[in-house]
Structures are given as structure tokens and as C-alpha cells.
Amino acid sequence: MKHSRREWFRVGLHAAVAPTIMIPKASAYDIQEIEGKLESGTGIAGVTKNDLPTPSLLLDLDAFESNIRRMADHASENGLDLRPHAKTHKCSEIATRQVGAGALGVCVATIREAEAMAAAGIGGLLLTSESVGLNKIHRLMRLCKRRPDTMAVVDHPSNAAELDEAAGSAGVRLNVLVDVDPLGRRTGIPPGSDAVALAETVDRLANLSLKGVHGYCGASSHVKGFEDRKRHSEKYMGPVLESHAAMVRKGLPVEIMSGASTGTYNIDSALEGMTELQVGSYALMDVDYRVIGGRGGEVYDDFGNALHVLATVISKNHDDIATVDAGLKAFATDRSFGPDVARPAGLTYAFRGDEHGALTLADSEREIVLGDKIELVVPHCDPNVNLYDRMYCVRGDYVQQVWKIDARGHV
């Protein structure tokens, strides 16, 4: 847009600046002050979303707490154990609340996540990726010394032998689930006689304790439409459950049959033989899950969107678009879609490089001006959380706490 003469005269009057940033000096906290206040206690009166740096990650506590409760209720009503997957949130504060709501412990995808959860006092850890190579195995053994109830997965006899040898050297007994592949060809041994033979091998090895079967069908979780998703999960989980049943018939100690995703939690809980759910995304939710369709309709709304990115409008030189300070480094980009704008209504977002996004303004519910705060629903929660070091927990506009994403970061 051309700047009119009148606009030039307004320089110094903040005419085009959002009222939201014109908060009283009293609440214009320094970032260290905000962090200090938030880390020292709960419910800091006066710290609002407008005080926060951007881009930042917001956790809506009302939606989050409702999600945690709802899944815990579902598991308990169906007589299943719940061991939610912490790879979604990488946050021991969230894991603590999941355990507080009745979970046995949490699943983790990496040894780094396992170490962070253990450091925060979370037990009942199930590491759902194979531990191969000296570094992972060495750290797994150290973890088992600290947390003897830790469980690992195995999908190959040579890895079982290696873990047995390492456990023997370390003087620990490693709990093992046989990872059976529901035809995803990612990790896991194929169902059937090979899987049963691997369970027998694990059971024979002196320093391993066979505990059950792990079977995760990632391909089912995002199948659109509840009935199609149900058919998909039943088809691919069937052989896994049959392998588990065969182990039971052989008298192998396979008390645990772990699986399911947020997309199939109310499908897999009805599968014969399943003993625990390892659902993850339900705690936070994202655009990706909203569109798969629920039991009742086209939108999957069993759980609410609890995770948003907060951004600031930092450039506004055109009538039709505005630029925010959140781009490719602020969002997961592994899906074909970007984030949805939650607030204000009527805006659409498009990536504009590493640090920027463009808002299309044509249908905006109100005028968008420099300094406006924008809240966006993340496209895919797991990799989105992985980009941030902390999440700001809010009720309405007020910030209550800051939680470290203490299990993020590789190594």
C-alpha cells in the first residue's frame, strides 16, 4: 500500500500499531523477569500472552487437562493400561500429569527421552525403538541400573544376543518386548513363526526378561474416516495379535501387548489381546489429526487443540497480506499443509521462508496491524514441539507456568 500523506503525519502516534502491545509499563516485563516469575511459581498475575517473546509455544491448560482426563477415562473404562507416548511432548511435566491421571509410565522413542524422563522421576519407561550400536546400548544399560522396570524392544536375534551380552556385563536384567511389524516394514520382525521364534530366543537368553509384544501400526493412525481406519487397523494388527496369542499358547511370559495411536485408540482398545495403549498426540493434538474424521463426523474432535504457536505481525506494508515472525523454523513442515490460524478468525497462513509467514487478510474478522498477536494450530504436534525449548502454559490470556521441553535435542 502507498503511505498517504496523512499516515506520514501520524508518525510518532503509533497509529498503525496494535493496542495489544500498548500494555501499561507495569506489565512490560523483561524476558528474564517473565521467565523468573514463571519458573518460581504458578499463576503470575499480570503476565499475559502479550508479554511473551514470539514465536513461542502455548499450551492451553484447559484443553490439555481435558485431553489427559478423557484418555485416562477411556483406558480405564476399557480395562486397559495406559502408557502414553512421550515422544509427542518430550516434556516431563506433561508425563508427570499423565502418570498422575493413572498412566503406568510413558513410552519413549529415544534413549535421550528415556534419560530425561528418568531424571524427572518418571518410571515405567518403554523404549519403542530398537537399541542398536554401542552408544545406545551402553546408555540403555545405565538406565536399567537406575530404573530396573525399563523395557526395550527387539526385532532381530543378533540384537537380542548383543543386548543379552551387554546386560550380563552390566549386571542388569533387561525387560524386553518383541517388536512385531504390522507390515509397516519400518521396524519390527514380521508376524508369524519368526516373531514367535524371536520371543523364544529372548526368553532363553540369561540376562533378558521377556515381557510381551510391541506392535505399532503407524500407517493406520491417519487413515481418513472412522470405518476405513477401523478396517485398516484390524487388518494389520490382526497378525500381530495372532503372533502374541501364539506366544501365549506356548506358555511364554508375554503379559504385555502394547500398541495403538491417537487415531485408533477407540478401535484398538476393542482388539482381542491388547493390554495397553501407547497413544501420544491426544495430549496436544494438531491439524493433522483434526482432518482424519471421528466416530461421529468429519472432524476428529475427541480431543481438543491444546498446542498453539504465538506469533507477532512484524511487517504490514500491503492491504492484502501481513507478515508474522513464525516461519519454517517455527512449525513442523513434514505435512502438505501448514498451520491453521486459531485467532483472530478469518486469516490463512502460508510459509514465507525460515523466519516468516504471510497472513492473507481478505476475510479477517478485524483489521490486522503491526504488533498484533496471532495464534496458530500446529500442523503436526510431535516435530513441532521438537523445535522449542519450553512451552508457556496459559488459561485464557494469562500465563500460568513455563514447562521445559526437557527431553528434546538429540544426543
Per CB under 8 A, contacts with a second copy among 134-163 are: 134-136, 138-139, 142, 155-162
Q: Can you tell me the distance from the alpha carbon of 352 to that of 356, in angstroms, rounded to the nearest whole number?
A: 5
396 Ramachandran zone, left/alpha/beta (phi>0; psi -120 to 50) = left
- Under rule CB under 8 A, residue 281 binds a second copy: no
Q: Minimum Å distance from CB 12 to a second copy?
A: 4
Residues 84-113 binding a second copy (CB under 8 A) are: 87, 109-112
From 91-99, 116-124, 129-137, 246-254, give the range in contact with a second copy by CB under 8 A.
129-137
For the chain, the first-to-last Cα distance in angstroms comes to 48
Residue labelled with grid coordinates 506392535: 215
Contact with a second copy (CB under 8 A) among 328, 344, 346, 398 = 328
How far apart CA 69 and CA 87 sit, in angstroms, is: 19
Number of H helices, E strands in the chain: 13, 17
Rounded CA separation 264/220 (Å): 7
Report d(CA 22, CA 44) in Å as an integer.
Answer: 20
246 binds a second copy (CB under 8 A): no
Q: Which of 6, 42, 45, 411 is close enough to bind a second copy by CB under 8 A? A: 411
In this complex, which beta carbon is closest to a second copy, that of residue 275 or of residue 315? 315
Beta carbons of 162 and 220 less than 8 angstroms apart: no
The verdict on 62 binding a second copy (CB under 8 A) reads no
386 contributes a contact to a second copy by CB under 8 A = yes
Single residue of 358, 374, 394, 407 touching a second copy by CB under 8 A: 358
Stretch near a second copy under the rule CB under 8 A, chosen from 20-28, 91-99, 243-251, 263-271: 20-28
Phi, psi of 60 (to 5 degrees): -80, 110
Instruction: Report the residue number, 23 or 120, with the smaller CB distance to a second copy.
Output: 23
- Residue 275 within binding range of a second copy, rule CB under 8 A: no
Burial label for 135, CB within 10 Å (0-12, 13-18, 19+), is: exposed
Pick between residue 76 and residue 135 the one whose CB is nearest to a second copy. 135
For the chain, give the number of residues.
411
Name which position in 44, 54, 277, 407 contacts a second copy (CB under 8 A). Answer: 54
Q: Is 3 in the site for a second copy (CB under 8 A)?
A: yes
If one asks whether residue 330 binds a second copy (CB under 8 A), the answer comes out as: yes
For residue 365, the minimal CB distance to a second copy (Å) is: 21
For a second copy, the closer of residues 80 and 117 by Cβ is: 117
CA 29 to chain centre: 30
CB 334: neighbour CB atoms within 10 A?
11
What would the DSSP string read from start to end of 132-188?
Answer: -SHHHHHHHHHHHHH-TT-EEEE-SHHHHHHHHHHHHHHT--EEEEEEB-SS-SSSS
**Would you say 118 or 387 has its CB closer to a second copy?**
387
Q: Within its chain, how far is the Cα of 376 from the centroid?
A: 16
Cβ neighbours for 212, distance < 8 A, ≥ 6 positions apart: 177, 178, 244, 254, 255, 256, 257, 258, 275
Of 38, 55, 265, 401, the one binding a second copy (CB under 8 A) is 55
Number of residues engaging a second copy in binding (CB under 8 A): 100
- Selected binder of a second copy within 19, 31, 119, 337 (CB under 8 A): 31
Give min distance, CB of 69 to a second copy, in A: 25
Candidates 124, 307, 316, 339; binder of a second copy (CB under 8 A) is: 316
CB-nearer residue toward a second copy: 23 or 72: 23
- Tell me if 55 sits within 8 A of 309, measured CB to CB: yes
Nearest approach in angstroms of CB 125 to a second copy is 16
Instruction: Yes or no: say if 279 and 71 are a contact pair by the CB < 8 Å rule.
Output: yes
Tell which positions 185-244 bind a second copy, by CB under 8 A.
185-190, 194, 197, 201, 218
Instruction: Note whether 42 binds a second copy by CB under 8 A.
Output: no
Closer CB to a second copy, 101 or 325, in the complex: 325
Q: Determine the interface stretch with a second copy among 62-70, 170-178, 239-247, 327-335 (rule: CB under 8 A).
A: 327-335
Report DSSP state, residue 206: T
Shortest separation between residue 272's beta carbon and a second copy, angstroms: 26
Binding residue for a second copy, selected from 61, 72, 120, 132, defined by CB under 8 A:
132
